Structure 1
């Protein structure tokens, strides 16, 4: 006999108000204000407008700096970094990959610290330190020194994307998250567009005491550390600590996201039981395997795009400018697919499959077109970068479909571990003797994208099956009162434990 949904208990809620008050008071939230505030549509629009105006630019500019800093090593090769540091054989490949060893090493400690520490302050300090480490690249004199600098740069950057994904889930409703994840991720695309232009400008500076590649690291690192100080002041730790909200707006901001049931207010305590639940959850491993496979492509394209473009017959400085269309193509598909997923429900995974298919077509063009067909192969490289537009969509799946703050941070950490492994393995297929065409690397990247599409299809089928199973077992989700929504939000339960939770596709 099917279990029916439990009816509301006569307008009352079995809610331990003392416990809830203590839980929220620790975060400077007035429980009475939250439950008594009647948020009008006009108030919600005002809060949403303020969030978009202040929060998205803060995160977007930071993410732009992160990708520009990541591209800096590839750009530095055009300024004779490999010759000055006497890199031989696959040493450049390993210098590219060791960044992700640092990223990997810090993913698990970061998932713990994100829960235990004030989120905004933790991320700000990480940004400040990563900028300083980037500046240290200019002091490298050998392969070993470059390896050390790249490792610690990965440590510094490991917290940023998972942290921004958690902030987005903390402040926005589930249906709002794809557009907002995409909004701050646009910084990645803008960096691809203007990064080459910035490097080109730095390359025109002639200084006999500092090499162009050293100046590139010094300038970008100084800007990043300076921005870390700005984030320390303005990036909030939670909806209760937004400096540009009054008390009523803070209550409205919290009320807006109660229906998410993803435990964004359950911070300050790391719950090991939720770690085990994350490991047992099939959605975790479909996301992890997808991320691992597609980053075979990411590792190669990010590290070797400058060399591949130079191999099309362009000069070193022109190769920096020619990278701009890669970011433009990524930006176009990011806006199209994230916008579509925002306004058409249950299409996030379908849009991710579309982006990956476009990248597969791009890889085929690079692989099969004649080496003299520069326009066609460059088009392929632009399309090959489109899969990166899936990153905000995949992050929105985590923020919308994983409940429990510790479980969410664990799944994020596992996904970014897979991101690191993929980026470590991917460049190893780019064999130095095949420079600048790298056919083995291109085929490996294409294979990874195809496998990624397969795991996205598996995830889509799993979500559909699980939602139908829950509908049959518990009935359709009913509309809860604000007090009941608050109880679910503070219940420390995961998506697998809340009967009314349904996955978005």
Structure 2
């Protein structure tokens, strides 16, 4: 054991550490040698769930409410007040993702080099401030500028939360936890319309849509201050844990074999490894395709609902079932993915199939069947609950800190491009039906099913190939720690097997 530890320390001098009872640093050997009892680990898991999940979930809820605000503002007369004509609103929707995309690659570097929790908190604070700036917009130029920088502010949040979940939870625990903080997205869908409805009926000399941006932005920036002090950078520095709990938390992280828990040098070789990895491209293609639907329906959903025959204010309220349908399928799929082995990708396929059915309902049903079309729109929203499952696949199946951050950013870059391209099919001349946009969404969702099938097949084939070449390799815990903390990638660790 001493030799293996010495080899590790020679390879990577920035070993992860935890503070022990007398305030000194514990080496990797001390962390590994501490044997936590099952009861201690259960208590730690409960503590992590009660602190980490709500902290991230509330933040993600605010993020999605902020993102929905542009769609809700259209029903509060934003387009008329700013004189938006033709495709200008479409570009105000798409430009958000240009900002997101522009900052994605700097984020992949910064989340490796900077304290992760602090970086995310600052990002949240800035995005809240930029959202408040929306209220000062007087024309198309001002709005499109604000939307671009809002995308910059939000670029780090979801990839960062995915990395944090991978730091604190075992591979088999991650699908449920990724899904748990994503509940914030569903709640935002449920209450976002109510909030906008209340603001729209408030007695104020300020235009309702301006008040909406000010209120949501102020809440988000205020929450960022809380995040700055409580969101940990790693298990080894989590202030809400005792020194012994930090030791156990780091030990659990090491067992994942997916990378170090501390900031590490950015390795370009791992970027090249990601570029050559088939799983990365399949994840990227899937994400791009399904977000053709997301880009259009997020920005034009309120207009589509109004086109079903509902009034503007009723359209705000009637979108609540979309969030409820997401919540139901999120609970179902996260439970299945956690309780049944090798089920993550199959349940993702199920979610996309439900969205395909919903899109087909919107496209084929007659205009007088508005209730049935609204049910279809609720089904369309279901594919979005695959986001936490995608993040859990990245955190479980991509080893190496730089590679994992690069893949996370690549997936979210594909998310951005899909959301940029998608709204271009929602032609202003087709409002409120948007037949071309619905067809493009349907095609994107169908292709998403194809790429998920290919990803599932690749994982099975690669696992069998490794088994046939090396046998049923079982790496000892210490060897796994050394491989992971040496910051090797999944393609460089012989005993690594992909989770399905």
Tell me the TM-score normalized by structure 1.
0.96
Residue 5 of structure 1 corresponds to none
Whether 1:498 and 2:493 are equivalent positions in the alignment is yes
CA contact (8 A) 2:17 2:26 kept: no
Structure-to-structure mapping, 1:156-305, within 5 angstroms? 156-208=153-205, 210-265=206-261, 267-305=263-301
Deviations 1:151-174 (A, max 9, x none): 000000000000000000000000
Structure-to-structure mapping, 1:456-475, within 5 angstroms? 456-475=452-471
Shift of 1:33: 3.3
Residue 409 of structure 2 corresponds to 413
Residue 59 of structure 2 corresponds to 62
Q: Distance in 2 between matches of 1:406 and 1:230?
A: 28
Q: Distance in 1 between matches of 2:490 and 2:344?
A: 19
Residue 7 of structure 2 corresponds to 16
Q: Distance in 1 between matches of 2:398 and 2:281?
A: 13
Shift of 1:488: 1.7
Residue 361 of structure 1 corresponds to 357
Whether 1:385 and 2:381 are equivalent positions in the alignment is yes
Q: CA RMSD in A?
A: 1.4
Q: Distance in 1 between matches of 2:234 and 2:368?
A: 54
Stretch deviating more after TM superposition (71-80 or 16-25): 16-25
Q: Distance in 1 between matches of 2:408 and 2:475?
A: 29
CA change 1:257–1:446 in 2 (3 A) is same
Q: Distance in 2 between matches of 1:14 and 1:22?
A: 11
Shift of 1:26: 6.8
Structure-to-structure mapping, 1:282-361, within 5 angstroms? 282-361=278-357
Q: Distance in 2 between matches of 1:121 and 1:139?
A: 28
Q: Distance in 2 between matches of 1:357 and 1:223?
A: 36
Q: Distance in 2 between matches of 1:245 and 1:22?
A: 25
Where does structure 2 lack aligned partners over 5 or more consecutive residues? 20-24
Residue 44 of structure 2 corresponds to 47
CA change 1:17–1:292 in 2 (3 A) is closer
Partner SS, residue 23 of structure 1: coil
How many equivalent pairs are there?
494
Shift of 1:259: 2.2
Q: Distance in 1 between matches of 2:120 and 2:218?
A: 17
Residue 396 of structure 2 corresponds to 400
Q: Distance in 2 between matches of 1:14 and 1:219?
A: 53
Q: Distance in 2 between matches of 1:154 and 1:130?
A: 8
CA change 1:495–1:25 in 2 (3 A) is closer
CA contact (8 A) 1:37 1:248 kept: no
Partner SS, residue 255 of structure 2: helix
CA contact (8 A) 2:258 2:400 kept: yes
Q: Distance in 2 between matches of 1:146 and 1:206?
A: 24
CA change 1:405–1:202 in 2 (3 A) is same
CA contact (8 A) 1:117 1:268 kept: no
CA contact (8 A) 2:8 2:482 kept: no
Deviations 1:136-156 (A, max 9, x none): 000000000001000000000
Residue 30 of structure 2 corresponds to 33
Stretch deviating more after TM superposition (248-257 or 163-172): 248-257
Shift of 1:36: 2.6
Shift of 1:15: 3.7
Deviations 1:190-216 (A, max 9, x none): 0000000011111111212x1000000
CA change 1:370–1:65 in 2 (3 A) is same
Residue 22 of structure 2 corresponds to none
Q: Distance in 1 between matches of 2:479 and 2:408?
A: 27
Residue 4 of structure 1 corresponds to none
CA contact (8 A) 1:200 1:320 kept: yes
Q: Distance in 2 between matches of 1:397 and 1:389?
A: 14
Q: Distance in 2 between matches of 1:405 and 1:266?
A: 9
Shift of 1:486: 2.0
Shift of 1:254: 1.0
Deviations 1:78-127 (A, max 9, x none): 11100010000000000000000000000000000000000000000000
Q: Distance in 1 between matches of 2:245 and 2:490?
A: 28
Q: Distance in 2 between matches of 1:24 and 1:485?
A: 15
Shift of 1:255: 1.0
Shift of 1:24: 2.7
CA contact (8 A) 1:261 1:485 kept: yes
Moved over 4 A (4+): 25-29
Residue 144 of structure 1 corresponds to 141
Tell me the TM-score normalized by structure 2.
0.97
Partner SS, residue 85 of structure 2: coil
Deviations 1:23-65 (A, max 9, x none): 2367755125302311110011011111001000000000000
